[in-house]
A = this chain, B = another copy of it.
Amino acid sequence: MKPTIYDIAKVAGVSTATVSKVINNKGRISDRTKEKIYQIMDEMRYRPNVLASALKGKCTYQIALLIPDMDNPIYAQYLKHIEDRGQELGFSIVMCSTDNNPEKEAKHITLLRQKKVDGFIIASKFSNEELLSELLQDEVPVVLFAHERPEMAIDSVTVDDYWGGFMATEHLISLKHEKIGVIADDSISCRERIRGYTSALRSAGLSAEDNMIVITRSKMADAEIAAGTLLDLTDRPTAIFGCNDIMAIGVMQAARKRHLTVPDELSVIGFDNTQMCTIVVPELSSIAMPVHELGKKAIDMLIDKIERQANLKQNIKMPPQLVIRNSTSKKK
């Protein structure tokens, strides 16, 4: 059997209280006993039972991460970086894939609250306002990740989607494109990116036409179809902004099927700067997220809330970066 705190106490000739105190570095214990207990714990290969201490109200060192779509490599990246940082800090990540399905989201949340995870990082859409307010009310530590809810007082770490959309579009404008389409899904982030797009057009004195914006599901095949509708217009755009790399690649595929060469006949730019950008031909220009920093920040913020019960709301917004590759070029 694994040794318990009792075994240690017995061998050390002290009470469990004393052992507990040295484990948690609390109360005043003489250096001598401390020393001795450490040594005995070491010898007996003692490992505290996290369950028992959690039952007494301590934390479980587990964090749940809700992720919408594992098919999009950007989420694998987020997961990786969040897990990395969690690992450094002794926190494990419980991974929940949701497909943006509110039922799945709710199921995960209830289940994991039962299992007493210490907090949630939510990268999923989470349209269930009610559940969200419930979490806030119960003071469950939550940070929204990669999308925000400005209307709710809730912590978040996001990228500046507006600015990303602006930069992407501005880049296309700088290449003399005037008719620029955009393919997006109906997420909040995409709405922001579109806002950036519109704003960039306006700033350049171009008109933002409604029929240049098409919303669809965030799947490559859907994006391809959506791009098709744009490309089949008699007055087709000469450049398209895909609101994430998956969609941008869908656009490239639509172009290929129509024998339009990228970038000569159509410029395409994506968003997220995933590994996919460098394997397509031509390589895809994109907007890079500071994935590592985003992940780190989210965990750090959450753990801060967990451990210090810090409760001031923070909304961190990091700047994305334009990465120019070969899918965008001067309008011919």
A-side interface residues toward B, CB under 8 Å? Answer: 47-52, 54-55, 60-62, 64, 70-71, 73, 75-77, 79-80, 83-84, 87, 90, 92-97, 104, 107-108, 110-116, 220, 249, 253, 256, 275-276, 279-281
Contact = CB atoms under 8 A, between A and B. Distances in A.
5 contacts: A84-B97, A87-B97, A93-B94, A276-B276, A281-B281
Given A87-B104, A281-B280, A70 B77 contact: yes
Nearest to A114: B47
Given A50-B114, A73-B73, 8 more contacts: A47-B113, A51-B51, A64-B92, A70-B80, A73-B76, A87-B96, A92-B112, A220-B279
**Count of chain copies:** 2
Nearest to A73: B73
B50 A115 contact: yes
Given A97-B84, A276-B279, A116 B50 contact: yes
By Cβ-Cβ distance, the 4 closest A-B pairs, closest first, are A70-B80, A95-B95, A76-B76, A281-B281
A118 to B, nearest CB: 12
B110 A47 contact: yes
Given A87-B104, A95-B79, A249 B112 contact: no
A289 to B, nearest CB: 15
Tell which of A108, A115, A280 has the most Cβ of chain B within 10 Å: A115
A111 B90 contact: yes
Contacts of A276: 276, 279
Tell which of A75, A92, A93, A220 has the most Cβ of chain B within 10 Å: A92
Contact of A94 (B77, B92, B116): B92
A65 to B, nearest CB: 8
Given A114-B47, A115-B50, A83 B95 contact: yes
A16 to B, nearest CB: 16
A140 to B, nearest CB: 12
Contact of A92 (B61, B71, B96): B96
Nearest to A112: B92
Contacts of A73: 73, 76
A115 B114 CA distance: 15
Contacts of A84: 97
A90 B114 CA distance: 12
Tell which of A52, A97, A112 has the most Cβ of chain B within 10 Å: A97
Given A51-B51, A110-B47, A276-B279, A115 B62 contact: yes
Nearest to A55: B51
A281 B110 CA distance: 45
B249 A279 contact: yes
A71 B281 contact: no
Nearest to A107: B87
A114 B48 contact: yes
Nearest to A52: B55
A96 B70 contact: no
